[in-house]
């Protein structure tokens, strides 16, 4: 049985005091091993790397070395700072002394982490998996002028990710954290919307979402169409109910692992 060891609080950005955790079965260390960057969620305003323990451990049990970073959060910093941090992680691990195949790096994320995983794929071309990724930003805000942004129904900080089951009626909170990411700057929100930046250099993507959760399905369908137009492979899995992210892990992890197996097979 795999013995997963966790190296905690490894600094990858001294300037901003940012750290990551490394999950691995040290007995499987080799230059052929695959790597995953596992990005936590939290609407870009809360969350931390320790929330990813279950997902990171499962990838490590399947032979991956897994890097789980913290990144800067809003409103102290705004877009594109979190994107810059995740790109920094990508470049840092490639230059690190850890043993793995630098041509086989993927990323996964849930919620805001799913958005950042997609951002990483757009800029590096690596395969990614996004669960409940926040995709529709500026268009959703434009179409919902009467929704009053509010964090009244926001998750209590520290709530286990698997317990955040938010149905699709929680529009005030969705609008609140989307606008919080850019401090209400609608021009910056348009720049932050990844749907406006899909190109043929994007990597293949696995996208999962519940059919009736806080993250609207319209964004997933638009993303798939934009990627299809650019001849980029996508796999989309819709799950019944209103589960968010880790809450549908039992339905989605096997397909996610198969997706990476497919794209990391020589």
Report helix, strand or coil for 51: helix
Domains in the chain and their CATH numbers?
5-263 (3.40.50.1820)
* pLDDT, tens digit (0-9, with 9 covering 90-100), for 138-189: 999 999 999 999 998 887 776 666 566 566 667 999 999 999 999 999 999 9
Closest CA relative to residue 52, chosen from 245, 181, 201, 232: 245
Report helix, strand or coil for 206: strand
* pLDDT, tens digit (0-9, with 9 covering 90-100), for 212-228: 999 999 999 999 999 99
pLDDT value at residue 2: 76
SS (H, E, C) 231-254: CCCEEEEEECCCCCHHHHHHHHHH
Q: What are the tokens at 173?
A: 């909170």
As a whole number, mean pLDDT of residues 1-16 equals 94
pLDDT value at residue 164: 60
Residue pointed to by tokens 């700072």: 81
As a whole number, mean pLDDT of residues 195-224 equals 96
């Amino acid at each position: 049985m795999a013995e997963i060891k966790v190296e905690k609080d490894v600094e990858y950005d001294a300037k901003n005091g940012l750290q990551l955790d490394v999950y691995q079965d040290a007995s499987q260390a080799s230059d052929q091993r695959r790597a995953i960057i596992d990005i936590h969620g939290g609407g870009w305003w809360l969350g931390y790397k320790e929330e990813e323990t279950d997902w990171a451990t499962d990838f490590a049990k399947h032979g991956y070395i897994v890097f789980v970073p913290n990144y800067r959060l809003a409103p102290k910093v705004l877009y594109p700072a979190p994107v810059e941090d995740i790109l920094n992680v990508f470049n840092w691990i490639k230059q690190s002394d850890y043993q793995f195949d630098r041509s086989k790096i993927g990323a996964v994320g849930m919620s805001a982490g799913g958005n950042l995983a997609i951002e990483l794929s757009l800029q590096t071309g690596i395969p990614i998996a996004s669960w409940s990724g926040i995709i529709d930003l500026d268009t959703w805000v434009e179409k919902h002028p009467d929704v009053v942004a509010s964090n009244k129904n926001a998750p209590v900080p520290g709530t286990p990710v698997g317990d955040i089951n938010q149905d699709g009626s929680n529009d005030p909170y969705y609008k609140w954290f989307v606008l919080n990411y850019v401090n209400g700057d609608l021009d910056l929100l348009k720049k932050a919307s990844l749907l406006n930046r899909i190109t043929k250099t994007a990597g293949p993507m696995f996208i999962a979402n519940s059919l009736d959760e806080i993250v609207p399905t319209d964004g997933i369908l638009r993303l798939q169409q934009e990627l299809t137009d650019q001849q980029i492979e996508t796999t989309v899995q819709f799950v019944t109910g209103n589960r968010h992210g880790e809450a549908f892990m039992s339905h989605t992890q096997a397909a996610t692992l198969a997706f990476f197996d497919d794209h990391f097979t020589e």
